[in-house]
Amino acid sequence: MHGFFGAIPLHVSGDMDLNPDGGEYRLVCQVSDVEVNALMHTLKARPPLFPLAGAIKAAIYCRGPLEVPIFAGSAEISKKNVKNNLTGPTTPAIEAVKQHEQRGAVAALDRLPVSNASANFTFDKDSCVADVYGMRVTLVDGGQLRGAVDDAGAIFNKLGSWIKHWQVRFFWL
């Protein structure tokens, strides 16, 4: 089945058992290019402390009981249609991608251009806990950030605080 969930384009396949006593989901969802700010708006996520630019694609698996499904999957930066994903008001992140596009920038965290990023995640609807693990961010200027976060709601805020601290240290060296 093809469709949209808000701004998120989806292709869903699988099956579900609708039996109230033991029914469960067994679904696979492919998310094609979705601009990251539109994604966060659709999911009603807290805005990050710093601007983001770029688009992602993802594979999400939904399994478990009908009342409390568990979501797991992986996401990565989409390298398609980079210019089309730089819409909306100009931000430092959008400017960073535009300035470094010839060097491979496809996304940005604040003023930090990124050539690739990926992560795996789980979300337990019963406890409303999201875990992000296997996170890798490759910077255009070289280097790679790796990590995991137990509270995905805080992932961007923690990374943003680290980037702000790094920028201050970098400029003072």
Tens of pLDDT along 46-92?
Answer: 777 888 899 999 999 999 888 888 889 999 998 887 766 677 778 99
Domain that holds residue 35: 2-172
* pLDDT of 159 higher than 80: no
For the chain, the average pLDDT equals: 81
Phi and psi at 77, nearest 5°, equal -65, 135
The answer to whether residues 52 and 36 touch, using CB atoms and an 8 Å cutoff, is: yes
* pLDDT of 156 higher than 50: no
Nearest-angstrom CA–CA distance, 112 and 116: 12
| Neighbour-count burial for 99-134, b at 16+ CB within 10 Å, e otherwise | ebeeeebbbbbbebbbbbbebebebeeeeeebbbee
Q: Strand, coil or helix: what is 164? A: helix
* pLDDT of 155 higher than 60: no
The answer to whether residues 29 and 11 touch, using CB atoms and an 8 Å cutoff, is: yes
Read off the amino acid at residue 69: P
- Tell me the whole-structure pTM to 2 decimals: 0.75
Q: What is the mean pLDDT of residues 118-126?
A: 84
Q: What is the mean pLDDT of residues 111-122?
A: 92
Phi and psi at 67, nearest 5°, equal -75, -30
The answer to whether residues 28 and 13 touch, using CB atoms and an 8 Å cutoff, is: yes
Q: How many domains does the chain have?
A: 1
Those residues whose C-beta lies under 8 Å from the C-beta of residue 57, and which sit 6 or more positions away, are 30, 31, 32, 33, 34, 75, 76, 78
| Neighbour-count burial for 21-39, b at 16+ CB within 10 Å, e otherwise | eeebbebebebebbbbbbb
The answer to whether residues 126 and 137 touch, using CB atoms and an 8 Å cutoff, is: no
Of all residues in the chain, the percent with pLDDT exceeding 90 is: 34
CA 128 from centre of chain: 17
